Structure 1
Amino acid sequence: MNPSNGVLFRIRTSEFILQKATQFRLKSSSSSIFTLKSLTSKQKKSRDTLSLLKSENNPDRILEICRSTSLSPDYHVDRIIFSVAVVTLAREKHFVAVSQLLDGFIQNQPDPKSESFAVRAIILYGRANMLDRSIQTFRNLEQYEIPRTVKSLNALLFACLMAKDYKEANRVYLEMPKMYGIEPDLETYNRMIRVLCESGSTSSSYSIVAEMERKWIKPTAASFGLMIDGFYKEEKFDEVRKVMRMMDEFGVHVGVATYNIMIQCLCKRKKSAEAKALIDGVMSCRMRPNSVTYLLLIHGFCSEENLDEAMNLFEVMVCNGYKPDSECYFTLIHCLCKGGDFETALILCRESMEKNWVPSFSVMKWLVNGLASRSKVDEAKELIAVVKEKFTRNVDLWNEVEAALPLPQ
C-alpha cells in the first residue's frame, strides 16, 4: 500500500470512529435525559400522592388515590405512601379498606411473581395490628405463585414485632421454618433476639446465639447490641458485661455503635451524667464518639433540664467537626425556651432556619412571645417575617401573633 494511502486510510478511519462515538454520545445523552425526565415525573407524582394522603381520612378516597398511582414497593416514596395509607386507615378502624388496598396490589402488581410487595404487605398488616392477615398472606403465597423465601419469614417476624405479639413471634420462629422448609438466616436470628429482648426475656437470647453457633452463623455487633439494650432495660448490668465478653470471644469489635446503645439506655433512665462518664472513659481509650453519641447525650441532658451541659456538648460537637441535625436544633431550642433563655434560643433558631429547618409553630410562638417579654420586639418581628416567608400557609396565624405583640419601647 502507498504510504500516503495508508495515512489517508487512518485519517478516514479516525473520522469514522469519531463520528460514531459522537452519535453514540448523543443517543446515550438523549436516552439519559428521557430516563431522567421519566424518573422526575414519577417522583413528582409520588410526592403529590403522598401530600394528598396526609390530609385525607376518607377510606374510599384513600383507596382511590393509591389506585390511581403506579406504586412500586421498590421505590422509597411509594413505600412511605403505602405506610401512610395503611396507618391512617387502621387508625380510623377501616380494616376492610386496609385488606382491599394490600390484597389488591398483591394480586395486580406488574410482576406477579415478585416477593417484594408480598413482604411489604405482611409487614404493613402487622403495623395495622392485623397480624392474622400477615400470617394468612404468608400462608397463601403459593396461590399468588410467589416464592416463599426467608425474606417472607423475616417479614412475618417483623410483623409480630410491630403488633407486639411476642408469643406469636415465638410460634412463627419455632414452627414455620420446619413447616415450609426455610433455613433461617442472620436477620431471622436477630429479629428473634429482638423479640425476646422487647418481651423482657433477654436471658433467653443466649439460646439464639447458641443456635447460631450450631448453624455456623456468626452473631454481629447488631446481635449483641440488641442483647445489651435488653439487659440495660432489665437493669441486669452483670449480663451487659457478660455480653461484652462474648463479643470479644466471637471476635466482634466493641465499637462506638455499641457504646451508643448503652448511652441511649442510660439517658432514657435519666442517667445522662453516667452516660457522659461512660463516653469520657471510652475517649480515654482513644475511641472517638460520633455525631449520634453527642445527639443522644444532648437529648438526655435536655430531658433532665440540664441546659448548661447540653449546650456545652453542642459546642464540643461542632468544634469536633460534627454537624447537628434538625432534631438536635429543635430539642435545644425547645429546652432553652422552657428554661427562659430566649436569647440563646434565638441564635440557634437563626442557625437552624439558615439550613431551612424551622421548629414547630408552637415552639416558634413560644420563642417570639419570650423575646417580646424581654423587650426584644424587633427581633420577634424579624423572626415572624422569616417564618411567614418560608411557610405561607400559616401567615394568618402569624399575623395574629404579631398583632398581639407589644409596641417596641
Structure 2
Amino acid sequence: MPDHSLTAFRLVKPPSDRALSALLSAYHDNRLYDRVVQAFNTLPAELGIKPGLVSHNVLLKTLVASGDLAAARALFDEMPHTAGVQPDIVSCNEILKGYLNTGDDAAFDQLLKEIAGPERHFKPNVGTYNLRMTLLCARGRSFEAEELLDAMGARGVPPNRACFNTVIKGLCNEGEVGAAMALFRKMPEVPRQNGTGVSPNFETYIMLLEALVNKGVFDPAMEIFKECLRNKWAPPFQAVKGLVQGLLKSRQAKRGKEVLMAMRKVVKGDAKAEWMKVEAQLSLLLADKKA
C-alpha cells in the first residue's frame, strides 16, 4: 500500500502539497516514520512543491510518534521562520500529545499557557480539551477533568465520545464508579451542534462493566451488561466471570444463570469454544450454590 501511494503521488500533475500530505499520511499510518521524514525532506525540492500546514502537521505527528519530541518542538518553533507556515491548534495538539506521552507535565502546562497567550492566541479544540483531561486523570484529578468536560460546551466546544471516555476511565481508575455511571447517563443529554447526545461505544461499556464488577456494585453492572447485549457486543469473559461470581456471593444465583444463558447467545465464532470452558467452570459454582 505505501508503495502504491508513492506511485499515485508521482502521477499527480502538477505535483501539489495536498498530494504530498496524503503520501506522508499513508506512510505515517503504516508506521513508516523514516519514509515520512525522507519524503518531506526530498520530494518538495525534487518536484517544486512548497509544503503547507497539513504536510508540516503530518511531519510533527510522525516525529512525536517516533519519539523524537525535541525535533518535533524544534520544527514547531521554526515553521514560521524557515517555511513561512504558521502552526495552528492541530500543530499545538501534536506537541501537547508528545509531552503527555513523555510525562513532561511542566512543558505541557507551559505550552497551554502559550496557546492562550497574546503571541499565539489559538482557540482550543476538542482535541486540546481531551489532552488536558487526559493529563488531569493521569494526575488522579478526574473530578477536575469532569468539570472541564462540563465547561467545554459553554465555551463553544461540545465534548465528543473520546472526551467522555477519557473522564469515565479516569473516574473508574480512581474507584469512583458512582460518578462514572452518573457521567455515562449524562451522555445522551449533551447539547451538540447537530442535535443532542453523545453515544457510548464498546470501550465505554467495558470500562464501566469491569470497574463496577471490581468494586462489587452488581446492579449497575447488570444494567451495563444488558446494554452490551442489546448492542450485540460480547463483553470480555473475565469481566463476565467476575459478574457471575459476584452475583453468586450476593445470593443472586438466578441472575447469574441469566448472565450465562445470555452470553451463550451472543458469543460467536472461535470465541464460542473458549466461552464454553468459562461457562463450565461457572456452572459448577452454580451447582455448588444449589447443593
- TM superposition score normalised by structure 2: 0.75
Query: Cα 1:356–1:211, aligned 2, differ >3 Å: closer, same or farther?
Result: farther
Deviates more, 1:236-245 or 1:398-407: 398-407
Q: 2: CA distance between counterparts of 1:292 and 1:145?
A: 33
Unaligned stretches of 5+ residues in structure 2: 191-196
Of all paired residues, the percent bearing the same amino acid is: 21
Q: CA deviation at 1:333?
A: 0.2
Q: CA deviation at 1:390?
A: 2.1
Matched, 1:226 2:98: no
Q: CA deviation at 1:382?
A: 0.8
Higher relative CO (CA 8 A, sep ≥ 6), structure 1 or 2? Answer: 2
Query: Cα 1:404–1:211, aligned 2, differ >3 Å: closer, same or farther?
Result: farther
Query: Cα 1:182–1:261, aligned 2, differ >3 Å: closer, same or farther?
Result: same
Matched, 1:240 2:112: yes
Query: Cα 1:285–1:152, aligned 2, differ >3 Å: closer, same or farther?
Result: closer
Residue 232 of structure 2 aligns with which residue? 356
Residue 341 of structure 1 aligns with which residue? 217
- Contact 1:264-1:296 at 8 Å conserved across structures: yes
Alignment counterpart, residue 185 of structure 1, candidates 27, 52, 57: 52
Q: CA deviation at 1:406?
A: 2.8
| RMSD (CA atoms) | 3.4
- Contact 1:377-1:405 at 8 Å conserved across structures: no
CA-to-aligned-CA distance 1:278-329 (integer Å, 9 cap, x gap): 3345456565434332221001222233323222222232444332212101
Q: CA deviation at 1:370?
A: 1.9
- Contact 1:388-1:398 at 8 Å conserved across structures: no
Amino acid in structure 2 at the alignment position of 1:188: S
Q: CA deviation at 1:257?
A: 3.7
Q: 1: CA distance between counterparts of 2:117 and 2:82?
A: 19
Query: Cα 1:157–1:330, aligned 2, differ >3 Å: closer, same or farther?
Result: closer
Q: CA deviation at 1:247?
A: 8.7
- TM superposition score normalised by structure 1: 0.56
CA-to-aligned-CA distance 1:193-232 (integer Å, 9 cap, x gap): 22344422253112125455x25xx644322322333344
- Contact 2:218-2:247 at 8 Å conserved across structures: yes
- Contact 2:24-2:55 at 8 Å conserved across structures: no
Residue 208 of structure 1 aligns with which residue? 79
- Contact 1:200-1:234 at 8 Å conserved across structures: no
Alignment counterpart, residue 178 of structure 2, candidates 283, 288, 308: 308
Q: CA deviation at 1:154?
A: 4.8
Query: Cα 1:262–1:381, aligned 2, differ >3 Å: closer, same or farther?
Result: same
Residue 401 of structure 1 aligns with which residue? 281
Mapping for residues 78-117 of structure 1, pairs under 5 Å: none
Matched, 1:297 2:183: no
- Contact 1:157-1:173 at 8 Å conserved across structures: no
Matched, 1:323 2:209: no
Amino acid in structure 2 at the alignment position of 1:329: Y
Q: CA deviation at 1:336?
A: 1.0
> How many residues get paired?
267
Alignment counterpart, residue 145 of structure 2, candidates 265, 275, 289: 275
Q: 1: CA distance between counterparts of 2:138 and 2:32?
A: 21
Larger radius of gyration between Structure 1 and Structure 2: 1
- Contact 2:69-2:95 at 8 Å conserved across structures: no
Q: 2: CA distance between counterparts of 1:261 and 1:146?
A: 37
